[in-house]
Amino acid sequence: MTKPTTWNPSATATLERLKGKLFASTTEAGAVLRADQRTVRAAIERKEIPAVRVGSTWRIPTHWLLSQAGLGGGDGAG
């Protein structure tokens, strides 16, 4: 069995990676918000972070992450 690949990006690298995408994973959101992905999932469950469930994973709107990072995205228009 092979080891799983660990992805531990910086916030800047993650924001670059998210360009043109509508949704981010909890790992990507954690990198932008500088939080562990378990913390992100707990905040989603408390409805503090907007997200949609896709199968067994959560996806966070990129426009929301950009607004939290102070880079626009605000209301989702655009």
Query: What distances in angstroms separate CA 31 from CA 3, 60, 75, 78, one per listed residue?
Result: 22, 12, 22, 23
The owner of tokens 């992100």 is: 40
Q: Is the pLDDT of residue 5 over 60?
A: no
For residue 40, being part of any structural domain is answered with: yes
Mean pLDDT throughout 21-34?
92
Q: Is the pLDDT of residue 7 over 80?
A: no
Determine the pLDDT at residue 77: 42
For residue 10, being part of any structural domain is answered with: no
For residue 74, being part of any structural domain is answered with: no
Angle value at C-alpha 46, between 24 and 38, nearest 5 degrees: 55
pTM: 0.76
Determine the pLDDT at residue 70: 82
For residue 12, being part of any structural domain is answered with: no
Query: Could you tell me the CATH number of the domain that includes residue 63?
Result: 1.10.10
Q: What is the pLDDT of residues 61-74, one digit of tens each?
A: 999 998 988 876 54
For residue 9, being part of any structural domain is answered with: no
For residue 29, being part of any structural domain is answered with: yes
For residue 1, being part of any structural domain is answered with: no
Domain interval for residue 26: 20-68
**What is the number of structural domains in the chain?**
1
Query: How many beta carbons lie within 10 A of that of residue 34, not counting itself?
Result: 9
Mean pLDDT throughout 30-49?
94
